Structure 1
Amino acid sequence: MKIYGYKNTELLPEEIIPDELAEITLLASVEELRKIASFMLSAADEIESKGSKWEHRHLSDFDKRFNEAPHFVIYNPNTGS
């Protein structure tokens, strides 16, 4: 497992290059943590069923209440990209 991220800056999307992170910290309510856990379980199920055809999914697409939150993305390491 690897974790990537970048700072919230004013760069254009094409200028953003994610860095590998050594640690992440989630400051989230119990309700938010349960929703994130559900999202992660759903992503695991989809990767398992669709294999390399499943590339990535955003938490905000799974649950619109996260639209204003930092982007949380699950990426399938088996896509060949």
Structure 2
Amino acid sequence: MKIYGYKNTELTPEDIVPDELAEITLAASSQELRKIASFILSAADDMEHENSNWEHRHLSDVDKSFEGSPQFVVYRSNTQN
């Protein structure tokens, strides 16, 4: 697993380059963490069932309560364990 992130700056989409992160911190309520956990479990299930067709999913597309939050995206890794 790798974790990538972007700084919260005023760059144009063309100028944003992902950085590999060593650590992430989620400042969230218990309710938000449960929603995120459910999202991740659902994405893992869909990844297995849709097999090679599944690429990525955005939390805010699945749960509209996260629309004003930073983007939380799960992406299929090239390696499968």
Q: TM-score range by the shorter chain?
A: over 0.9
CA distance in 1, matches of 2:14, 2:56: 18
RMSD of the alignment, in Å?
0.7
| Residue of structure 1 in register with 2:60 after alignment | 60
Q: 5+ unaligned residues in a row in structure 1: which ranges? A: none
* TM-score, length basis structure 1: 0.93
* TM-score, length basis structure 2: 0.93
Q: 5+ unaligned residues in a row in structure 2: which ranges? A: none
Q: CA deviation at 1:77?
A: 1.3
Q: Residues 26-59 of structure 1, C-alpha deviation per residue, up to 9 Å, x if partnerless?
A: 0000000000000000000010001121111000
Count of residues in correspondence between the two structures: 78
Alignment of 1:22 onto 2:13 = no
Instruction: Check whether the contact 1:52–1:76 (CA below 8 A) recurs between aligned residues.
Output: no
Task: Give, as a single letter, the amino acid of the residue that structure 2 aligns with 1:40.
Answer: I
Task: Give, as a single letter, the amino acid of the residue that structure 2 aligns with 1:6.
Answer: Y
Q: CA deviation at 1:20?
A: 0.2
CA distance in 2, matches of 1:15, 1:70: 18
4+ residue segments displaced more than 3 Å: none
SS at match of 2:24: coil
CA distance in 1, matches of 2:29, 2:64: 16
Identity of aligned residues (%): 72
